[in-house]
Amino acid sequence: MGIREEILRIIEKNSRIDVHELSVMIGADEIAVANELKTLEEEGVICGYHTMVDWSKTEIEKVNALIEVKVTPQRGLGFDSIAERIYKYPEVTSVYLMSGGFDLMVILEGKSLQEVAGFVNNKLATLDTVLSTATHFILKKYKDHGTILTKKYEDTREIITP
């Protein structure tokens, strides 16, 4: 296994790790690791270094919704052009093409229920190619991006064992 996969596995969980520590942990040369990171960024494999924020623990109100969207694919363009129209809205955080009962899954972040509803009614549903929408509001996030948000890790082991 090359260092690439191991680098990705580590920084996917901890993007703040510095190159030196990363190279120590995977037992590789520091310059090789730095080069690999650069290549990964250039190739777009690494798309960004984000921070996971649990907004519900702040005073700032955020509302998240999942919207199932059925659309009419366009000749020659398939779903891509409609997806692009949708993802250009800054309040849209994710757009996925789905298999199954609907076509696009749109994830939205807004300040309030009204704002999200307004977006769906005024912008999304009125697009020509959109046939229908079904909006689901997220009530509570238990786990996000592999991280459990509702509970902190607690070491319950005995302090010293043979």
Chain residues in the site for other proteins (CB under 8 A): 6, 9-10, 21, 24-27, 155, 157-162
* Smallest gap from residue 20 Cβ to other proteins (A): 9
Q: Which of 43, 155 has the CB closer to other proteins?
A: 155
* Smallest gap from residue 49 Cβ to other proteins (A): 18
- The burial of 149, by beta-carbon neighbours within 10 Å (0-12 exposed, 13-18 middle, 19 or more buried), is given as middle
What separation in angstroms does the CA of 145 have from each of 47, 51, 54, 59?
15, 11, 11, 22
* Smallest gap from residue 147 Cβ to other proteins (A): 14
Q: Which of 99, 142 has the CB closer to other proteins?
A: 142
Q: What whole-number distance in Å separates Cα of residue 117 and Cα of residue 104?
A: 18
Instruction: Name residue, tokens 């901890």.
Output: 14
| N-to-C CA span, the chain | 34
Q: Which of 50, 157 has the CB closer to other proteins?
A: 157
* Smallest gap from residue 139 Cβ to other proteins (A): 23
